[in-house]
Structure 1
Amino acid sequence: MKLLIDSKREKVLFAEASKEIIDFLLNLLCLPLSAVIRLLNKDGMVGSIGNLYQSVENLSDTYLQPHLHKDVLLKPRAPISSQQFSALLPAIGNNSANHNAEASFYTCHNSYSCGYHVTCDNKTLCPQCLNAMSRKVTYVGKKVAEDVFPNNSGFVKEVVTYMVMDDLVIQPMSTISSITLLNKFNVIEIGALKEKVVELGMTQGVDLLKASLQSKAVLTRVFLKNNAAI
């Protein structure tokens, strides 16, 4: 990702980003809250939601409904995920298991008496007997598999370069919009602008997630060390 920085104010004006970066940022919207808590470390979170997470961790199974497992709350599965997700954030436990190209379907072990309910998640409870629908069945054909696991990964197309603002506003990159933004930021001395190419890996991915919940100057906070407190 390439940053355009106002060196006088030590502020990122905007970034030039590829499809993979945009897919990662949009994936943040798919993360369940408890997954966010685990990624950011519950002890270091702002507010009290981390205490709620820890309360569930400490709660004895004796107090839970007999058909309920803690992982439903502590390790929920994101409803949508891009292939780039696992490359930029640490794995989120077993529930972030890879959705491979082969579609897997499951039914109840008592399907003859409960009816033929089918799911893609082997932890789903049967609506009739409330047991896990863990009996694997195979779908013959390609259409459903392609619909469930499409080959076109991610959320946005790769035909253009994207612009990411310091507050994570995203839009397609264009020369006109770049000039307009320089005027909006009241940039008078072009010589004060500098480019910086940054790598986005696991550490930066978690930092971006954390900063997005705490700041309106996300890119500045993550990639300019002197502004870590913004």
Structure 2
Amino acid sequence: MEKKLSLKLLVNNKSNKVLFGEAGKDFIDFLMSLLALPIGSVIRLLTKQNMVGCLGKLYESVENLSDSYTQPGHNKNFLLNPLMPSIPSCPNPLLLLENRTNSQSKNMYYRCSNSSSHYYVTRIKGSLCPTCKFQMTIEVPYVFLNNIENTVSNGEGGFVKSVVTYMVMDDLVVTPMSTISSIALLNKFNVKDTGVLEEKVVEVGMKEEIH
């Protein structure tokens, strides 16, 4: 079942315009996590045909490049389907990528399969060991000790705290929500009659995230 996030919108029914969104920690964590999205994943999600500029063509060129032209131990998948950087203590990973990650775990590293005395590690399974040139295929899990300590101490992970509600504007400006900020926005939008305002709760899933 697809995971979805809730977002409460304040809508002006008279002008049919969304004034702002009211969001909790889970939505804000997702929104800020977009900044960690690798460009290869962005192209893959938007599709290379719909990508603005020449990046779609570059992505297609890598797709079509024969393995005979790449360095030994390198995999095109590293560029076409890059691993997400590990997000500290984040219990809600990017919904955009939760069903689209490759088979290599983002928290998994690999060491040389020839000898345990070689201490090199890599995030790309099958890379060649710099010492003996054997493939690096032995899994080495990576544990974020600081992140675990933080999660235990405050009971939550992610980027922002859950002690407040956050306001999200249509240009993606995010600020902590308060009565004063809400009133200021109503004045900014020249709302004189609060009777025209309506709260609507929407769910954000894969389709909405891409668009």
Residue type of the alignment partner of 2:193: E
**Equivalent-residue separation in structure 2 for 1:20 and 1:155 (angstroms):** 9
Q: Is the 8 A contact 1:78 1:96 kept in 2?
A: no
2:40–2:79 contact (8 Å) kept in structure 1: yes
Q: Is the 8 A contact 1:106 1:122 kept in 2?
A: yes
Query: Deviation string for 1:64-115 (max 9, x for gaps)?
Result: 122211011101111133332354555223157475xxxx6542224456x4
What CA distance in whole angstroms lies between the structure 2 residues aligned with 1:62 and 1:135? 25
Aligned residue for 1:92?
A: 100
Give the 3-state SS of the residue equivalent to 1:77 in structure 2.
Answer: coil
* Aligned-partner Cα distance in 2 for 1:51–1:199: 34
Which structure has the highest strand share of the two?
2
Q: 1:110 to 1:97 in 2, by over 3 A?
A: closer
Q: Deviations over 1:25-46 (max 9, x none)?
A: 0111111001011111221223
Aligned with residue 111 of structure 2, among 86, 92, 107: 107
One-letter amino acid of the counterpart of residue 21, structure 2: A
> Which of 172, 175, 180 pairs up with 1:171?
175
Match of 1:36 among 15, 20, 42: 42
Match of 2:145 in 1: 146
In the alignment, is residue 202 of structure 1 matched against residue 206 of structure 2?
A: yes
**Distance in 1 between residues matched to 2:74 and 2:110, nearest whole Å:** 19
Does residue 117 (structure 1) correspond to residue 125 (structure 2)? The answer is no
Q: Return the alpha-carbon distance in structure 1 between the equivalents of residues 189 and 163 of structure 2.
A: 28
* C-alpha distance in structure 1 between counterparts of 2:158 and 2:188, whole Å: 31
Match of 1:55 among 40, 61, 85: 61
CA distance change for structure 1 residues 162 and 127 in 2, over 3 Å: closer, same or farther? farther
TM superposition score normalised by structure 2: 0.79
- Aligned CA distance change for structure 1 residues 68 and 148 (closer, same or farther; 3 Å): farther
Q: Tell me whether 1:71 sits opposite 2:74 in the alignment.
A: no
Once residues 133 and 38 of structure 2 are traced to their aligned partners in structure 1, the CA distance between those partners, rounded to angstroms, is 24
CA gap 1:59/1:37 in 2 versus in 1, 3 angstroms: same
Tell me the residue number matched to 1:6.
12
Give the TM-score normalised by structure 1: 0.73
Which amino acid is the alignment partner of residue 2 of structure 1? K
Q: Which residue of 1 aligns with 2:166?
A: 162
- State the aligned residue count: 197
Letter in 2 for 1:186: N
CA RMSD of aligned residues (A): 2.8
Runs of 5+ in structure 1 lacking a partner? 208-230
Distance (Å, rounded) in 1 between the aligned partners of 2:72 and 2:148: 33
Q: Unmatched 5+ residue regions in structure 2?
A: 1-6
Answer 1 or 2: higher relative contact order, Cα 8 Å, separation at least 6: 2
The 1:77/1:125 distance shift into structure 2, 3 A limit, reads farther
Percentage of pairs with the same residue:
53
